[in-house]
Amino acid sequence: MLDERQVWINGDFVPWNQATVHMMCHSFARGSTIFEVISFYATAAGGPAVFRLHEHIARLERSAAHLAMELPGDHEALCRAVAETVHRNRLAQGTVKLVGYYPQVALDIQPPQKRLDVAVFALDPSRDLAGLEFSFERGTTAGIARWRKLDPQSVPIEAKAAANYLNGMVAKLDVQKRGFEDAILLDTQGFIAEGATESVFLVKEGRLLTPSLGTVLDSITRRSILQVARHLGIETFEGRLRPELLFAAQEIFFANTPFKVIPVRRIEERAMPAVPGPVQLKLAGFLGRVARGEEEAFKEWLYPVAA
């Protein structure tokens, strides 16, 4: 199916297999790519809508600013590029990946220029990609990785940059060697940070707990879950969480863009009491209604794609 997809690059559409760069380009060889992964959903109104598109583009702009990069279009132009790519590929629901990159061949560690090229990909992972199957009812298993989360004094962790994700990759490889599916990273002070590509949430005595910003990415899904929880009357807490809480919590779950709520059924050797747990069920159900445009109070989160 990927051969049928069209990719937006700097204002033009090209076939999927022509969306390429040279292997010696700076962004391939040095990891100087910034990106966003964004979901879109079929809505009750009939057409697809992109979930929190303005917030994703704003974060892309912040990533560029942290790394002294220049984007080729303004905020609204990038929003339109995402919507046009979804429309051009005739998809009702799926995932967008927006990539800012340096295509020029370079040996120096410094990029060849400030201005990026931008590409927008839209696909349906269930049809186009293998290995992304997910069962909410089954959930996942998690181990605590020996690798620590990147320290915010070493790199700007607020930037959603490709090079930063080597950290999550080695953490996930570490726990998979011990038989777990996903990783939880601690920060360099020993507190809970996040997953390889996910935010981490715990539920204890009815309260929803998550690590505070500062050592973790300002995840838009994390932000959405906290806002929805407060709307539903669930008490929330953001702060420094010791790893011992993982063995006392009634529920643990990951949160990411494609799946929103990912229940953890086992943390290290501890089996969780209920999967999915009641808070996970409440949050996942409500977020599903928001994504379909069925919750009036959250309709501003959806960016409609023209038919």
177-236 tens-digit pLDDT? 999 999 999 999 999 999 999 999 999 999 999 999 999 999 999 999 999 999 999 999
Q: What is the mean pLDDT of the chain?
A: 96
Vertex 185: Cα angle to 214 and 122 (nearest 5): 80
Q: Nearest-CA neighbor of 291 among 99, 38, 30, 91?
A: 38
pLDDT at 139: 96
pLDDT at 163: 97
Q: Which spans in 163-234 are helix H? A: 166-176, 220-231
Quickly state the pLDDT bin for 98 (edges 50, 70, 90).
very high
pLDDT at 261: 98
Quickly state the pLDDT bin for 126 (edges 50, 70, 90).
confident
Mean pLDDT of 265-292: 97
Contacts of residue 233, defined as CB under 8 A and 6 or more positions apart, other chains included, come to none
Which amino acid is it at 186?
L
Asked whether residue 271 carries a pLDDT value surpassing 70, the answer given is yes
Distance of CA 278 to the CA centre of its chain: 24
Contacts of residue 166, defined as CB under 8 A and 6 or more positions apart, other chains included, come to 31
Mean pLDDT of 40-64: 96
**Residues in a beta bridge with 6:** 15
pLDDT at 306: 84
Quickly state the pLDDT bin for 134 (edges 50, 70, 90).
confident
Helices 53-66, 75-88: inter-axial angle, 10-degree rounding: 120
pLDDT at 130: 77
Could you give the CA distance from residue 73 to residue 70 in angstroms, rounded to a whole number?
Answer: 9
Q: What end-to-end distance do the CA atoms of the chain give, in Å?
A: 22
Distance of CA 171 to the CA centre of its chain: 17
Taking 3-state DSSP, the helix, strand and coil percentages for the chain, each rounded to the nearest 5, stand at 30, 30, 40
pLDDT at 237: 98
Domains along the chain with CATH numbers:
2-128 (3.30.470.10), 140-291 (3.20.10.10)
Q: What dihedral angle (degrees, nearest 10) is formed by the CA atoms of 51, 53, 56, 58?
A: -150
- At which residue do the structure tokens 């799926």 appear? 94
Asked whether residue 307 carries a pLDDT value surpassing 80, the answer given is no
Q: Nearest-CA neighbor of 116 among 70, 74, 82, 80?
A: 70
pTM: 0.96
Asked whether residue 131 carries a pLDDT value surpassing 70, the answer given is no
Q: Which of 127-131, 151-155, 192-196 bottoms out in mean pLDDT, i.e. has the lowest?
A: 127-131
Are 149 and 216 within 8 A, CB to CB?
Answer: yes
Could you give the CA distance from residue 190 to residue 241 in angstroms, rounded to a whole number?
Answer: 9
Could you give the CA distance from residue 57 to residue 76 in angstroms, rounded to a whole number?
Answer: 9
Could you give the CA distance from residue 165 to residue 197 in angstroms, rounded to a whole number?
Answer: 8
